[in-house]
Amino acid sequence: MQSSTSDSRAWPPAIRALRHRNFRLYFAGQAISTLGSWLQQVALAWLIYRLTGSAALLGVTTFAALLPQLLVGPLAGAWIDRHDKRRLLIGVQGLLGLQAIGLAVLTATELIGPTLIVAMAALLGILNAFDTPLRQSLLSQFVSGKEDLPNALALNAMLFNSSRFIGPPLAGLLLGFTTEAACFALNALSYLGLAAGLLVIRMAPTPRAQGSTSHVFREGLSYIASRPVIRLMMVSVLVINLTASSYAVLLPVFAKDIFAGDARTLGWLWGAAGLGSLLGTLFLANRHALPSLVKAIMACALASGAALLGFAASTQLALSLLAMAVLGFGISTCNVGTNILLQSLAPEHLRGRVVALYTSTRFGFDAIGGLLAGILAEHFGAPIAMATAGVLLLGYCIWLLPRQRWLGREIAATTEVPH
């Protein structure tokens, strides 16, 4: 059964996807789940640096958490396209909750150490390699009309970024009077929100791809390889996350060593990036014309490179918070805007695989960038590591600039502009 809808005139254009009942249920559950995830992410980063003081270990842990997206994600997309996606997503939420409970118990009993932290991060990464493409590819099933899909994708990203704005400062406050284990336990409870929403959604089983997993995987890969526009968008996702997204690994170092702060300082830095990301998704939620997204993505990539250089050079917390907000806006607009374009271009039966390859590129190269940033910071300092990322990103933008007009024309020729 498709989502029931209320009169579209009752919903402002910026949140028009919420007129679909199924999407509203998903949206509410995902809001709770995502907030818990940010509590865990900030608490884990602080735990690592508190126990070891190692920027390299921050990079290794991020690498372990995100690398499965690169290695497992593409095959996961082919596998989930052959099964009922809603049932799979409910099961994955349960496994994610168990991972968070395990992390809470290990931390509370003081059994946690560098090896276990990396192992638990890798387990989380494997589960997320299934969770992320499942959630993304199901969005088209929660709205009964392709015209509302871009808005649903933007609102879904807005949820993530709202939690990114609220979660880190909240985690910093919680860590001021409780422990990392408490944050992990709260995250475990948060997965119940999305599972509950999925259980009461009314919808037909999702279409399943036919053939073996390897055949389904090759079909998705061939689709992407045969389309130059999609290939170029994937390369841009690779570069923006290899460079700009690596800032997350370095924030605990800046908070403690550059600004002489504590977990609350880290929360404010992460929160500033989250505010920028939230504004970026609000910007995208109000856009209708898909080809115009190309110019926005290009401008935001340039702004992200400049923000990396500004943050690297700053020793004033206020200026650094501003740079983080600009960086969050830029990264979010680039990633979410590209996701909207890719899902609007992809046929329904291939969407799970396209999403999986997008998310594997996004988070996989985020992992590689974080690892490299941590190693650079260990040897040359966090400001040098962040400045290097900024220079590389600006260099790519200069290479991409002459191709921007061609990309916009190609997208205009192959998509219908939603109204």
d(C-alpha 297, C-alpha 300), whole Å? 5
Of the candidates 385, 357, 400, the one whose C-alpha atom is nearest the C-alpha of residue 244 is 385
> Which is nearest to 390 in space by CA: 285, 243, 252, 255?
243
- Report the amino acid identity of residue 355: V
Q: Taken in order 159, 240, 237, 86, is the CA torsion positive or negative?
A: negative
Three-state SS for 73?
helix
Which three-class secondary structure string do you get for 234-288? HHHHHHHHHHHHHHHHHHHHHHHHHCCCCHHHHHHHHHHHHHHHHHHHHHHHCCC
Q: Report the candidate in 373, 370, 365 with the shortest Cα–Cα distance to residue 70.
A: 365
Q: Where are the alpha helices (DSSP H) in 314-381?
A: 317-345, 351-380
Identity of residue 35? L
Say if 174 falls within a structural domain.
yes
Q: Which two tokens stand for residue 161?
A: 């970024």
Please report the pLDDT score of residue 419 as a whole number.
38
User: Per the domain annotation, does 159 fall within a domain?
Assistant: yes
Q: What is the pLDDT of residue 252?
A: 85
Burial, 366: exposed, middle or buried (Cβ in 10 Å; 0-12, 13-18, 19+)?
buried
> Which 8-state DSSP code applies to residue 209?
-
How many domains does one find in the chain?
Answer: 1
- What share of the chain in percent tops pLDDT 70? 92
> How many CA atoms, within 13 angstroms, populate the side-chain half-sphere of residue 105?
8
CATH code of the domain containing 333: 1.20.1250.20
Asked whether residue 257 is assigned to any structural domain, the reply reads yes
The whole domain housing 112 covers: 8-414
Q: How far apart are CA 142 and CA 4, in angstroms?
A: 9
Q: Does residue 2 lie in a domain region?
A: no
CB 139 within 8 A of CB 17: no
Q: Is residue 347 part of a domain?
A: yes
| CA separation, residue 326 to residues 145, 310, 320 (Å) | 33, 10, 10
pLDDT for res 209: 66
Note the residue count of the chain: 419
Residues of the chain short of pLDDT 70, as ranges, are: 1-9, 145-146, 205-211, 213, 287-291, 414-419
Instruction: Burial-class residue 16 by CB neighbours within 10 Å (0-12, 13-18, 19+).
Output: buried
In a domain, 127, yes or no: yes
What's the pLDDT at 415?
A: 59
* 93, containing H or E segment: helix 85-108
**1 in a domain, yes or no?**
no
Integer CA distances (angstroms), 212 to 75, 76, 81, 93, 284, in order? 11, 13, 11, 26, 37
- For residue 3, being part of any structural domain is answered with no
- What is residue 414's predicted lDDT score, i.e. its pLDDT? 66
pTM: 0.72
